[in-house]
Amino acid sequence: MFLCHMPERSFSYQQLFDFTQSVFKKIGCSDEHADTATKALLSADLRGIDSHGIARLSGYIRLWEVKRVNAIPDIKIIHETPSTAVVDGDSGLGLVVAPFAMKIAIEKAKQVGTGWVSVQNSNHFGIAAHHAMMALEHDMIGMAMTNASPLVAPTFSIDKMLGTNPICVAAPAGNEPAFVADLATTTAANGKLEILQRKNKETPVGWVQDAEGNSSTDANVLKKGGALLPLGGDREHGSNKGYALGAIVDIFSALLSGANYAPWVPPFPAYVPMPAQQPGKGIGHFLGAMRIDAFRPADDFKQHMDNWIKGFRNARPIAGQEKVLVPGDPEREFETERMKNGISLLQQVTEDLKVLALKFELPSL
Amino acid sequence: MFLCHMPERSFSYQQLFDFTQSVFKKIGCSDEHADTATKALLSADLRGIDSHGIARLSGYIRLWEVKRVNAIPDIKIIHETPSTAVVDGDSGLGLVVAPFAMKIAIEKAKQVGTGWVSVQNSNHFGIAAHHAMMALEHDMIGMAMTNASPLVAPTFSIDKMLGTNPICVAAPAGNEPAFVADLATTTAANGKLEILQRKNKETPVGWVQDAEGNSSTDANVLKKGGALLPLGGDREHGSNKGYALGAIVDIFSALLSGANYAPWVPPFPAYVPMPAQQPGKGIGHFLGAMRIDAFRPADDFKQHMDNWIKGFRNARPIAGQEKVLVPGDPEREFETERMKNGISLLQQVTEDLKVLALKFELPSL
């Protein structure tokens, strides 16, 4: 038995929940905020987006340590109309600010059909799907976007000008599970590069470029001045479209709200210096909710969504593939499996959590 | 001089406008509808999207001949809330129905901050940008989407389940020209295949697949049972994201409105049989408008948009590229040039227009 060399250890969702919640309380979060933040953070681990879950907990805490995250934010609406609002997150955890904003979007949708909330002065919000999916139980379509620190070079650019800027749309169905599309507007997210780095493998062509803007397959290229590429990879394969989508997310999240944008978005790692120029406050999000019955009866919509989903599931798969998937399928399968069998964490992550336990005098996981 | 062998002939915008307007009047369109439809159609020629402009005029007329286009539609709202509406296009030209719906979106945005209109029972609406850009003069962000007949195979699918389903977002700037991103959710649009067909060239890898779902570079593959690929090309390059984006457009345009969706969207060519199953009415669009000052003062937003745009224009270009472009730049340059120097049409297109002139007893172009 060489336990100390085991690369992964498995924990129940409840174990991770209790630990994470305790950490957020230790930095001063209210019970309610700690609960909200923990649910948002761990939804990533449940859904198989390991790069955005508890693996980032120590990163959030470091942002609190350098006073970039405010654990007791006064989150508030600073401007509104019947269908819109701008929220100032007061430097709170995005994990708390985004659900606050999404609730406002849902309330406005109840009143006037749709609600749209742009957020300034926030921080990383975890996975977009968690927030968008809040709309589902209200028979609404939910949307969530966020900008992020610049890792992506637009088409023809050497410079990194955009974040991975994800878009999520969640739409309810009837007997079928909900449609949930959650996508970074890059060919590959940073988490996929990290997996290749650990395996010492190269990336496919079209994921990254080097510091001079040449096509590269070096999974470590971001540390050497390289960049992620927009969805499409290069101009010939439509990277101008991935670039445009990332730009739309930036405009909705930050230009509408007054947050920082483009290359001036604050970095997630606390040790990376803040950009010299700051045209806005913190990072920006955009949350939306559309009440289905503001368009047609919800039951009609859901029945047709079931028909739509079944149509795609019944499409003929290409040789070597078992079936055609509907957006949200892989994440839902992860969630079912991990809720039942637990969540495996890499040794590096559990070591990070041990350090947090020591720091905050909590029982180690 | 071998005029009859010249491949292209140039016309002024006004010449094409007068001719197109006359044709629409000949099929029975009101003066107002003929004007609206002509502007929408020719905006594609001006902006360099030749596949969606006057080249399609004879196609629209054939749809009228087989009674799939109603030249005197009673376009109306069939359901609404303060921020939403569903419009029944009464089988009208999408070129007329979409501007009608966009005006409603703009009116609702004036009242409650945003307006969102889903449209059923319509036809091909030309380019999305024309409709989205209607919002700009009102200091609003405009959005336009449409579903389309199935040419695209989702990730892992042999079957064609989605159209090229474009998304357009137009956002006003101050001194800089507006940001206008108009993108099909496929790697390459059908128009690009047609250009390669004429040149007898192959496509790059990642644009199309053959009738068995294998990667192909045959520009004629759609005629042989093949399919366009979602933006990304294959799973390794994020085609699941392009597929998800096309699906979102389908849900917003058709599932919300009661139009046909997925593989059951009516084909554009009048000679292609209609799908046996029709879960809705006609094709669907989705139009949206967000008033900037429903979020922050329009002048603040525009000033930051200028700063955003200049940031991208000043990004360092990779070797061999002159500059980094902002979405909308190429189309605007086309528009300036073509408004001044005229619009060149392929011989095949002018021949088509001559047939129309004969049919409707109009002076030939």
pLDDT at site B276 = 87
**Amino acid at the residue B290:** M
Per CB-CB distance under 8 Å, the chain B contacts of A250 are: 308
E strands present in A17-83: 76-81
CB contact under 8 A, A300 and B258: yes
pLDDT in tens, B39-88: 999 999 999 999 999 999 999 999 999 999 999 999 999 999 999 999 99
Separation between Cα atoms, residue A112 and residue A104, nearest integer Å: 12
The average confidence (pLDDT) of chain B is 96
When the candidates are 3.30.60.50, 3.30.1360.170, 3.40.50.2000, 3.90.1150.10, the CATH number that belongs to A188-228 is 3.30.60.50
Which residue of B49, B77, B80, B112 is the best one to mutate when testing the A interface, meaning the one whose CB has the most A CBs within 10 A?
B112
Is the Cβ of A113 closer than 8 Å to some Cβ of chain B? yes
Terminal-to-terminal C-alpha distance of chain B:
20
Separation between Cα atoms, residue B119 and residue A236, nearest integer Å: 33
Say which of A113, A247, A324 has its CB closest to residue B81.
Answer: A113
Strand-pair category, B84-88 with B76-81? antiparallel
- pLDDT of B8 higher than 90: no
pLDDT in tens, A66-92: 999 999 999 999 999 999 999 999 999
Is the Cβ of B250 closer than 8 Å to some Cβ of chain A? yes
**Amino acid at the residue B262:** A
CB contact under 8 A, A158 and B317: yes
Query: Could you give the maximum distance between any two Cα atoms of chain B, in Å?
Result: 63
Separation between Cα atoms, residue B224 and residue B34, nearest integer Å: 37
Per CB-CB distance under 8 Å, the chain A contacts of B163 are: none
Burial class for B322, CB neighbours closer than 10 Å (0-12, 13-18, 19+): exposed
Q: Is the pTM of this model over 0.95?
A: yes
Say which of A167, A169, A187 has its CB closest to residue B238.
Answer: A187
Per CB-CB distance under 8 Å, the chain A contacts of B86 are: 295-296
- pLDDT of B7 higher than 80: no
ipTM above 0.95, yes or no: yes
Per CB-CB distance under 8 Å, the chain A contacts of B84 are: 113-114, 290-291, 294-295
**Stretch B1-21: mean pLDDT:** 80
Q: Which residues 132-161 in chain B show a CB within 8 A of chain A?
A: 141, 154-159, 161
CB contact under 8 A, B169 and A248: yes
Is the Cβ of A276 closer than 8 Å to some Cβ of chain B? no
Contact A114, A289 (CB under 8 A): yes
Shortest Cα–Cα distance, A156 to chain B (Å): 5
CB contact under 8 A, A113 and B113: no
pLDDT at site A5 = 47
Is the Cβ of B361 closer than 8 Å to some Cβ of chain A? no
Separation between Cα atoms, residue B243 and residue B152, nearest integer Å: 9
Separation between Cα atoms, residue A232 and residue A217, nearest integer Å: 15
pLDDT at site A115 = 99
Per CB-CB distance under 8 Å, the chain B contacts of A86 are: 295-296
Query: Could you give the maximum distance between any two Cα atoms of chain A, in Å?
Result: 63
Per CB-CB distance under 8 Å, the chain A contacts of B156 are: 317-318, 321, 323-325
Neighbours of A353 (CB within 10 A): 23
The radius of gyration of chain A from alpha carbons, rounded to an integer in Å, stands at 20
Is the Cβ of B298 closer than 8 Å to some Cβ of chain A? no
Residues comprising chain B, all counted: 365
Minimum CA–CA partner of A85 in chain B: B295
pLDDT in tens, B132-189: 999 999 999 999 999 999 999 999 999 999 999 999 999 999 999 999 999 999 999 8
Separation between Cα atoms, residue B59 and residue B83, nearest integer Å: 35
Shortest Cα–Cα distance, A182 to chain B (Å): 8
pLDDT in tens, B310-328: 999 999 999 999 999 999 9
pLDDT at site B16 = 98
Is the Cβ of B324 closer than 8 Å to some Cβ of chain A? yes
Q: What is the CATH number of domain A3-187+229-297+344-359?
A: 3.30.1370.60
List of chain A residues with pLDDT < 50:
1-5
Q: Which residues 254-273 in chain B show a CB within 8 A of chain A?
A: 255-258, 261-263
Instruction: Name the CATH architecture for the domain at B3-187+229-297+342-359.
Output: 2-Layer Sandwich (3.30)
pLDDT at site B336 = 98
- pLDDT of B1 higher than 50: no
pLDDT at site A192 = 87
pLDDT in tens, B218-271: 999 999 999 999 999 999 999 999 999 999 999 999 999 999 999 999 999 999
pLDDT at site B277 = 87
Percent of chain A scoring above 90 in pLDDT: 94
Is the Cβ of B83 closer than 8 Å to some Cβ of chain A? yes
Say which of A86, A250, A251 has its CB closest to residue B296.
Answer: A86
Q: Which residues 61-80 in chain A show a CB within 8 A of chain B?
A: 79
Q: Where are the domains of chain A?
A: 3-187+229-297+344-359, 188-228, 300-327
Least Cα distance to A113 among B41, B108, B233 occurs for B108
DSSP lists the bridge partners of residue B180 as: B170
CB contact under 8 A, B280 and A304: yes
Per CB-CB distance under 8 Å, the chain A contacts of B290 are: 84, 116, 256
Separation between Cα atoms, residue A243 and residue A246, nearest integer Å: 5
